[in-house]
Amino acid sequence: MAGFLGAAAATSHADFDITRAHQKKDVRVGLLRHFLKEKEAPAARYAETFILEADSHGLDWRLLPSLAFVESGGGKHCLRNNLFGWDNGTSKFSSVTAAIHQVAQSLSEGRSYRGKSIQGKLAAYNESPDYKSLVTGVMRRISPQVLPQSL
């Protein structure tokens, strides 16, 4: 134990963050990345971003990538960085990361979505009768259950 404490004491706080050293790997990133890569979706490179934005906005971690998969094939068919078909596909985003952030924030805080369940958010997102089952089906394919932030 003294060796460990000695190493920590000899390393500045900026160089050694003990909480990061003990963080457990977030399996959700691997599950999501695997799903998107298997589907040859360009959005696979944003797996961690999807999850970080979902967590910071209190959303199911599978919702954002599922919307992106349904709306643009996970980035295969998106214009102007709009993975989500946001605003009937007319919105332009400066980057894919900006799109993920904006849609996460809107689904969490926007008047049409705030306080609603996933089913309610999806009904507001797209009124088509089959849309909810399409997106939730993709969510189950990513992972059949909601997983904690880290395992």
For 114-141, write each residue's pLDDT tens digit.
Answer: 999 999 999 999 999 899 999 999 999 9
In this structure, is residue 136 part of a structural domain? yes
Residue 11 within a domain = no
pLDDT tens for each residue of 11-42 = 334 443 433 433 457 999 999 999 999 999 99
Q: Is residue 8 part of a domain?
A: no
Please indicate, yes or no, if residue 18 is contained in any of the structural domains: no
Domain encompassing residue 34: 27-142
Q: What is the structure's pLDDT at 39?
A: 97
Cα pseudo-dihedral 102, 117, 26, 42, rounded to 10: -50
Q: Is residue 69 part of a domain?
A: yes
When the pLDDT of each residue in the chain is averaged and rounded to a whole number, the result is 86
CATH of the domain at 100: 1.10.530.10
Q: Is 62:142 a contact under the CB 8 Å cutoff?
A: yes
Asked if residue 54 is part of any domain, the answer here is yes
Total-model pTM: 0.81
- 84-102 pLDDT tens trace: 999 999 999 999 999 999 9
3-state secondary structure of 126: coil
C-beta separation of 61 from 73 below 8 A: no
- Considering the domain boundaries, does residue 35 fall inside one? yes
Instruction: Tell me whether residue 79 is in a domain.
Output: yes
Domain count, the chain: 1
| pLDDT (0 to 100) of residue 145 | 78
Among 139, 140, 134, 151, CA closest to 50: 139
Residue 76 has pLDDT above 50, yes or no: yes
